[in-house]
């Protein structure tokens, strides 16, 4: 009987260690895969989006299908943790006006995404897609984006 007590303790410690290793592995996988921070953004909730591209400081307005395309890009953008500083370069600022009167500020600049003042590191390809969308919107509205 006395011999079983150490075996139980050893078995319990082994199981606790396995749970700890599993949790660490899950956390590492989540960090590698990233998070879709704006995955609950829906075009049906948005009235319009005010878009400013800096430089050159062009102001545009997105409505209808343009809003749906922007929401599709933003909701699929994958972020990888917090980032405090925005990089230099062309920034696309989106002020999202919802039907309920609330607004949301989103800034995309290369691999940086800022949502209501909180900065995140984003996949560069997602940032390039948002930039290309803003350029296409400017071209459709006749704005010069040089």
pLDDT digits (tens, 9 = 90+) for 63-122: 999 999 999 999 999 998 888 887 888 899 999 999 999 999 999 999 999 999 999 999
Q: Is the pLDDT of residue 3 over 70?
A: no
Q: Is the pLDDT of residue 7 over 70?
A: yes
Neighbours of 20 (CB within 10 A): 10
**Six-digit token string for 84:** 């405090």
If you ran DSSP here, which 8-state letter would residue 113 be given? Answer: E
How far lies 135's CA from each of 2, 33, 60, 106, in Å?
A: 76, 28, 10, 16
Give the pLDDT confidence score for residue 45 in this predicted structure: 95
Q: What is the pTM of this model?
A: 0.76
Are the beta carbons of 35 and 115 closer than 8 angstroms?
no
Residue 90 to residue 54: CA distance in whole angstroms: 6
Are the beta carbons of 111 and 122 closer than 8 angstroms?
yes
Neighbours of 46 (CB within 10 A): 19
pLDDT digits (tens, 9 = 90+) for 14-58: 899 899 999 988 887 776 677 777 888 999 999 999 999 988 888
- The domain limits of the chain are 1-33, 43-140
**Across the beta sheet with 58-62, what order do the strands follow?**
58-62, 46-54, 91-98, 103-109, 112-115, 118-122, 79-82
């Amino acid at each position: 009987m006395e011999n079983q007590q150490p075996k139980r303790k050893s078995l319990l410690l082994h199981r606790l260690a396995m749970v700890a290793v599993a949790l660490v592995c899950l956390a590492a996988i989540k960090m590698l895969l990233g998070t879709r921070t704006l995955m609950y953004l829906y075009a049906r909730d948005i009235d319009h989006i005010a878009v400013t591209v800096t430089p050159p400081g062009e102001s545009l307005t997105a409505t209808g299908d343009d809003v749906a395309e922007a929401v599709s890009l933003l909701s699929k953008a994958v972020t990888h943790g917090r980032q405090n500083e925005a990089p230099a370069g062309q920034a696309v600022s989106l002020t999202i006006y919802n039907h309920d009167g609330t607004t949301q500020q989103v800034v995309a600049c290369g691999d940086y995404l800022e949502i209501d003042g909180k900065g995140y590191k984003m996949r560069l390809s997602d940032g390039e897609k948002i930039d290309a969308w803003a350029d296409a919107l400017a071209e459709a509205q006749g704005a010069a984006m040089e």
